[in-house]
Amino acid sequence: MRVIIHHGLPDHLRHDAARLYWQAFGGKLGRVLGPERLAFALLDKVMQGDHAIVALADDGVLLGLVGFKSPGGAFAGGGLVDLIGIYGTFGALWRAGILWLLERDLDNHRFLMDGICVADTARGQGVGTALLDAICAEGRARGYPSVRLDVIDVNPRARALYERQGFVATRTSRIGMLRWVFGFSAATTMVRNLS
């Protein structure tokens, strides 16, 4: 299968991207951002297409995507106002509090990846590798010396891919009692030098 890398998320693929993102991260975020219909509404509202690189099949089907953060925003960012618009004031406040506890800071010295996901039907076909190569090329083009990502302890398949692609674990942070909310116990920061 030929994989076409495209910088930016085309508008007509927003729904597919939200579904793919939720497929990858809904298990972790479902208790906080659910129910699913509201999570999709939030993703549709906050996704910044210019903070994504997508992998497409020849026929234009979305195979995967990788998001990133920059001083100008994040692929799956958003804030309290966005949460209020979807969940109401009370629903937004408790969700924002829990998400704030999990949030990682913007890294001004390394290019920060903001999630990678590959469609189930495209796994094992080089899509993840192509997206990682693309995000590293984007980081290099923006003048960053390295790319940083975080991987959770219950996703050894992703960690193995990152290690094969030259990412090295630099620290592991435990999330304590939040493990009961998010379904994982720790996140490992991994870095790949671009020089």
Blockwise average pLDDT, block size 10, the chain, 195 residues: 93 96 90 93 95 97 96 90 96 91 71 94 94 97 95 92 95 89 90 94
pLDDT of residue 181: 84
Q: Where in the chain are the domains?
A: 4-145
Give pLDDT tens digits for 8-43.
999 999 999 999 999 999 988 889 999 999 999 999
> β-strand 73-74 against 62-70: which pairing, if any?
antiparallel
| 3, 18, 107, 144, 188 from 113: Cα distances, Å | 20, 17, 10, 12, 13
Q: How many residues does the chain have?
A: 195
Distance CA 27, CA 37 (A): 15
For residue 104, the model assigns a pLDDT of 56
Model confidence over 176-195: pLDDT tens digits?
888 888 888 999 999 999 98
54: left (phi over 0), alpha (psi -120 to 50) or beta: beta
> What is the CATH number assigned to the segment(s) 4-145?
3.40.630.30
